[in-house]
Structures are given as C-alpha cells and as structure tokens.
Amino acid sequence: MIIKSVMPCTGELRDNEFLLPVRVYYEDTDAGGIVYYANYLKFAERARTEFIRSLGVRQQDELEEENKFGFAVKHCEIDYKMPAVLDDELVVTVQVTGLKGASATMHQEIRRGEDVLAEIDITVVYLSLKQKRPVRIPKELAAKIEQLM
Amino acid sequence: MIIKSVMPCTGELRDNEFLLPVRVYYEDTDAGGIVYYANYLKFAERARTEFIRSLGVRQQDELEEENKFGFAVKHCEIDYKMPAVLDDELVVTVQVTGLKGASATMHQEIRRGEDVLAEIDITVVYLSLKQKRPVRIPKELAAKIEQLM
Amino acid sequence: MIIKSVMPCTGELRDNEFLLPVRVYYEDTDAGGIVYYANYLKFAERARTEFIRSLGVRQQDELEEENKFGFAVKHCEIDYKMPAVLDDELVVTVQVTGLKGASATMHQEIRRGEDVLAEIDITVVYLSLKQKRPVRIPKELAAKIEQLM
Amino acid sequence: MIIKSVMPCTGELRDNEFLLPVRVYYEDTDAGGIVYYANYLKFAERARTEFIRSLGVRQQDELEEENKFGFAVKHCEIDYKMPAVLDDELVVTVQVTGLKGASATMHQEIRRGEDVLAEIDITVVYLSLKQKRPVRIPKELAAKIEQLM
C-alpha cells in the first residue's frame, strides 16, 4: 500500500473510499510522545471536508450565504488501536455507511502503511446554522453521497 | 445548580462525581460559531487530569521517572446534544463506572447550567510508556479510584 | 509570590496588572515534552479575554449583535525564556501599555512562581467584523482601559 | 502565482525560498470567522519542519536517539495583515536570514495568491533536550542551511 507518495494533498477516491494523506507535526503530539487523542478527530474532519469538497461543495460558501448551512457531528465513536508519532505519514479514510434525511453515517480509519491506528464511526447532521436545527441534505448533494455507498 | 461560582479552578468531588469548571475561549470555537467538536475531548481530559490529581497523582512526575507511566485513551464515545459557544461557563464531570486490571471506564458530561451539552463514555488504559504496553494500575491508585464507584 | 492558590479562575487585578492562573494540560504540550510554542498565545488570549471581561465586556454578546465587534491581534512579539511543562501552574499577566483610537498595546508575561517563562508584546485592534475594518474603541471601554495604564 | 496546484504536499524549494501549501480547516478557525491568531504559528512550524525534512533531517529520529535534539523557538514576531478564512489555500514560506552557532533566523510569510496575510520573523535554537541547553547546529546540517541563504 505505497499509495501515499502519489496521493494529492486534497486526497482522492478509490473504490468508494476517500483517502487523505496527513502528516503528523509537533502541534499534533503531546508530552507522552504520541498524537494527542483529540487530534485524531481533527485529522478525521480534514478528510471529511476534502471528501465533501471532492463532491463539489465548498463549506466557506455555505457559511457566507445568508442562510448558513454546514455538517455538524452528532455522534462519534473512536477506537484507538496503536499510537501515531511525530513525522508519521498517515492516510485518513472516509466511507459513507448510511444516509437518511438530514444525517449521514461514515466509517473512518487512520492508517499508517498497513496498520490501522484508529477507527472512527461518526454521525453527521446537516444543519441550518441560523435556525440551529437539522435540515434535509440538499438533493443534489445527497445523490452524490449516495453514489458512493 | 448554581454551583460554579464557588467551584475551585481545580474542580471538586461531589457525591462520587468530580466536577471541573471550564470557560470557553476563542481558541475552542470554530467558524461555525460553536465549540469545535474535538475540543470537547480536551475539556474531558482536563477534568480527568484534575480528578486524578485530586487523588494525589501528578502526571508530570510519572513522565519524569525512569519508567514512565500514564493513562491513555483506548476507546471513546461522544454524543453531542447541544453546542457550546464562546464565553460559556461549562462544568465537566467525571464518574468512574468500571475498573479492571490495567483499565478503567468513565462517564463524563459537559454541562452548561442544567443542560447536558455532551456525554462521553471513555475507556482509559494504564500504560508503561517505555514498554508501550498496558500495566496493572498501581494498587494504591486503584483503591482510591474504587472508593469513588 | 504564592498568590496563585487564592486567585480566582477568572483572574484578578493587582496594581494595574491583570493576573490569570493557567494550568498546563496534555493538550498544551508536544513530543518535545514542553508546551508547544503557539500555545503560549492561547494562554495570553485567555488572560486578555478575562481582563476585558473584568471590565464588563462579554465578547459573545458582541458577536451576537447585528453589528459584530471584537478585538483582533495586529502584531505580536514573543520572547521564549524558559519552557513550561505538563502540570505547571502558570500565571498569565496583562498590562496595558498604550491606547490610541482603534488600537491598544499590551505587555504580557507567562510566569511560573518567580520565573518569567515568556514575554509577549501585543497590539490589538478593535474591529467591526461585518465591515472588516478597525473602528474606534467605544468611549466607555476606552475609559476603563485608560484607568489601568 | 498559480503555483499551488502543482506543489507537492511536502512543499518545495524555489530560489532559496521554501514553499508549503496549507489548507484552512474548521479546526484552524474561530468564532470570529477567521483563522485563530495562534494557528498561523502552527502553519509556520509545519513549513519549517518540511523545510528541515527537505534537507534530510527527520525530527522523530532525533527524539528517539539517546541524546535528543531539536529546534526550539526562542523569539518570534508576527505581523497580521489580512485574515485567512475557512477553505483558504495558503502557501507558507521559509527563508533563512541568519545562522550562527546554535541559532538560526528565518523570515516566513503566509500567502494567499498574491496577498501576504502574515509575516513572521523567527529565531530558532538547536537544543539538547536532555541537557535542556543550546548546542551548536551539526556541521552537516549547518552547511545545508547556509547554502540557502
């Protein structure tokens, strides 16, 4: 799986799985010498953002509109299997596992070479930031996501 | 539950539940105008650290010893119920729900007044950082934790 | 200078210098075993926020108003003298050194006991977030700040 | 300056200036809708790390050795000119401006297209992490850095 060197910074889709290369920097680590446990969620969100972007959605556009929209995380489960350390070249994956009305579920992995360092199962909800409540994912976007399941 | 104003910065134990006051600053928020989802895990870790400290353990001491030890998160489940925003005065709780050999489970809540904004269920493992493997929680510490269940 | 134990979480003013106690957690440290260099700026911002709050200004209120306002950092100079480590009890200070129209300058220190770990000189500008340009600091707030110089 | 699309994730050297592409994610922004002021220092450190790596130094190797070494920031001056926002594609630069014994000075810029959003002048010191004191930059590394001035 020496796929990283040819993977673009913006990630890419391979067989319905989105892959983003992520490098571990000092900012990600802690005094235990490993990546701080909350920072895996940052990596995961970068991958989801690039995945959404690869479908043609620009989040900042949605924030700038009169009626702001965005995905918010509703539920998240993380299993930490092995620690990542400084300088690691990781690959963060996104796989859509469900889609229903205003919400979607995704399975994500943090990988280093053949090793899976962490597994994340996440539920995101599409929100109207102004009304602070979930709204149905726009048809066009939902159709694109559905294709990848 | 107007307990915050009298709560020390280092938190305190009330009926087997540890409570830590946490203020939301700009660093914790994101462009959606709410606390970034990974940062609830920072708040949770601050509460666990103060809880452990209240039992008489100083983490930096354990890092400085020849044979370094520390708690690492093995599994984590978060349910996001309501968003926290800038300037919020939160209370982060820790309740020990299980203890076995090298690991402990805890239930944590992020509260704002009467509201529970997030619920976190976490499994931590006591690690030898040098040998990179779980080791039995020291008897004295385990006994102190057990008292609080 | 054993002032920390009696200092409230929200900090306090002593002789025109505002003091905020800050504890170092895992999230603040890096794999070098010390506080990550950018995180001193987080500590500094917490102290400025509590300082402003002590003057009766609530930043979230200003974000929620139709016409949003807030202080933004324009210039910042940091001198790192000694590293802070996990579990340190720090005191972060704020001293107003200048005030002119839309901007203010402040001198800040990160202290551990008698030691000054870092010195920060900062220029903040009062901004209309909607118009994205500096505006004169409101008279009432400016008067309060001026008293502390 | 449409150089970003062809720039590798690990950055590249152009005319003695090292350039690293950096994307702005939610984690980098704050409730003001812009990149949080301390996070520019994270971007700057990523660029310095990739710059050092491009010279053949792997920081994690240096941490794993018996006698740990690493660059630490001694002084830092940042001028914030324009804010970066969510989704921005930035380019972070590194230019070595001085080299002397245990320390080096660098000029860094955060750019978005033609615009310079922030300028950073930084002094780093080569440290023995064990002895916690500056040591002379290894000859081979110093020679490589010198070539780029």
Put simply, the answer to whether A26 touches D45 (Cβ < 8 Å) is yes
The per-residue pLDDT for D2 is 45
Which residue in B32, B63, B73 is closest to A37 by CB distance?
B73
Question: What's the mean pLDDT in A106-120?
Answer: 98
Bridge partners (DSSP) of residue D80 are D118
Q: Decide if A38 contacts B41 (C-beta within 8 A).
A: yes
Chain segment D19-64, per-residue pLDDT in tens: 999 999 999 999 988 999 999 999 999 999 999 999 887 666 666 5
**Total residues found in chain B within this entry:** 149
The per-residue pLDDT for A1 is 43
B11 in reach of chain C (CB within 8 A):
no
Q: Decide if A129 contacts A59 (C-beta within 8 A).
A: no
The per-residue pLDDT for D76 is 98
Q: Which of A78-87, A105-114, B53-62, B114-123 has the lowest mean pLDDT?
A: B53-62
A34 in reach of chain C (CB within 8 A):
yes
Bridge partners (DSSP) of residue C54 are none
The per-residue pLDDT for A24 is 97
How does the average pLDDT of chain B come out, rounded? 89
Q: What is the dihedral of CA D40, D45, D46, D51, to 10 degrees?
A: 130
d(C-alpha D22, C-alpha C107), whole Å? 31
Contacts made by residues D134-137, CB under 8 angstroms, sequence distance 24+: D134/D101, D134/D102, D134/D103, D135/D69, D135/D102, D136/D101, D136/D102, D137/D99, D137/D101, D137/D102, D137/D103, D137/D104
The per-residue pLDDT for B148 is 86
A86 in reach of chain D (CB within 8 A):
yes
Bridge partners (DSSP) of residue D91 are D21, D111
The per-residue pLDDT for C148 is 86
The per-residue pLDDT for C147 is 87
Which residue in A26, A27, A31 is closest to C26 by CB distance?
A31
At residue B26's C-alpha, the angle toward residues A50 and A89, to 5°, is 35
Under DSSP, the state recorded for B78 is E
- Identify the three-state secondary structure at position D60: helix
Q: What's the token pair of residue C11?
A: 């900090």
C40 pLDDT tier (thresholds 50, 70, 90): very high
Q: Decide if B35 contacts B29 (C-beta within 8 A).
A: yes
Q: Quote the minimal CA–CA distance from D63 to chain C in Å.
A: 8
| pLDDT of A141 above 60 | yes
d(C-alpha D74, C-alpha D95), whole Å? 17
Active site residues of A: 30
Q: Decide if C31 contacts A85 (C-beta within 8 A).
A: yes
B58 pLDDT tier (thresholds 50, 70, 90): low
Q: Which of A62-76, B36-50, C44-58, D93-107 has the lowest mean pLDDT?
A: A62-76
B1 in reach of chain D (CB within 8 A):
no
**Strands of chain B, DSSP E:** 12-14, 17-23, 69-80, 89-100, 103-112, 115-128, 133-134
The per-residue pLDDT for C2 is 45
Chain segment B107-136, per-residue pLDDT in tens: 999 999 999 999 999 999 998 877 778 999
Q: Return the biggest CA–CA distance within chain D.
A: 46
| pLDDT of D147 above 80 | yes
Q: How many Cβ atoms sit within 10 Å of the Cβ of residue A61?
A: 11
Q: Decide if D45 contacts C37 (C-beta within 8 A).
A: yes
Put simply, the answer to whether A23 touches D9 (Cβ < 8 Å) is yes
d(C-alpha B127, C-alpha A123), whole Å? 30
Higher pLDDT, residue C129 or C107: C107
| pLDDT of B31 above 50 | yes
3-state helix, strand, coil in chain D (%, to 5): 25, 40, 35
**Total residues found in chain A within this entry:** 149
The per-residue pLDDT for A2 is 45
| pLDDT of D5 above 60 | no
Question: What's the mean pLDDT in B73-82?
Answer: 97
At residue C7's C-alpha, the angle toward residues C3 and C9, to 5°, is 145
D87 in reach of chain B (CB within 8 A):
no
Question: What's the mean pLDDT in D127-147?
Answer: 86
How does the average pLDDT of chain D come out, rounded? 89
A62 pLDDT tier (thresholds 50, 70, 90): low
d(C-alpha B35, C-alpha B57), whole Å? 30
| pLDDT of D11 above 80 | yes
d(C-alpha D119, C-alpha D93), whole Å? 10
Higher pLDDT, residue C43 or C33: C43
The per-residue pLDDT for B63 is 61
| pLDDT of A66 above 70 | no
**Total residues found in chain C within this entry:** 149
Give the type of residue at D14: R
Q: Quote the minimal CA–CA distance from A146 to chain D in Å.
A: 24
| pLDDT of C113 above 50 | yes
The per-residue pLDDT for A61 is 66
Contacts of A50 in chain D (CB under 8 A): 23
The per-residue pLDDT for B76 is 98
Higher pLDDT, residue C138 or B1: C138
Contacts of C132 in chain D (CB under 8 A): 83
Under DSSP, the state recorded for B138 is P
Question: What's the mean pLDDT in C80-107?
Answer: 96
Higher pLDDT, residue A32 or D107: D107
The per-residue pLDDT for A140 is 85
d(C-alpha D15, C-alpha B130), whole Å? 43
The complex scores an ipTM of 0.91
pTM, 2 dp: 0.93
Question: What's the mean pLDDT in A112-132?
Answer: 92
Q: Which of A86-95, C94-103, D7-16 has the lowest mean pLDDT?
A: D7-16
Q: How many Cβ atoms sit within 10 Å of the Cβ of residue D45?
A: 23
The per-residue pLDDT for C61 is 66
The per-residue pLDDT for B34 is 92
Question: Residue D77: CB partners within 8 Å, gap ≥ 6?
Answer: C75, C76, C77, C78, D120, D121, D122
Interface with chain A: mutation pick from D23, D52, D86, highest number of A CBs within 10 Å: D86
Chain segment D70-112, per-residue pLDDT in tens: 889 999 999 999 999 999 999 999 999 999 999 999 999 999 9
Which residue in B26, B42, B53 is closest to C45 by CB distance?
B26
| pLDDT of B59 above 70 | no
d(C-alpha A76, C-alpha D56), whole Å? 39
Interface with chain C: mutation pick from D76, D77, D127, D133, highest number of C CBs within 10 Å: D76
Residue A53: closest CA among chain D residues belongs to which residue? D87
C72 in reach of chain A (CB within 8 A):
no
Kindly state the helix (H) or strand (E) to which residue A62 belongs, with its residue range. Answer: helix A59-64
Q: How many Cβ atoms sit within 10 Å of the Cβ of residue D56?
A: 9
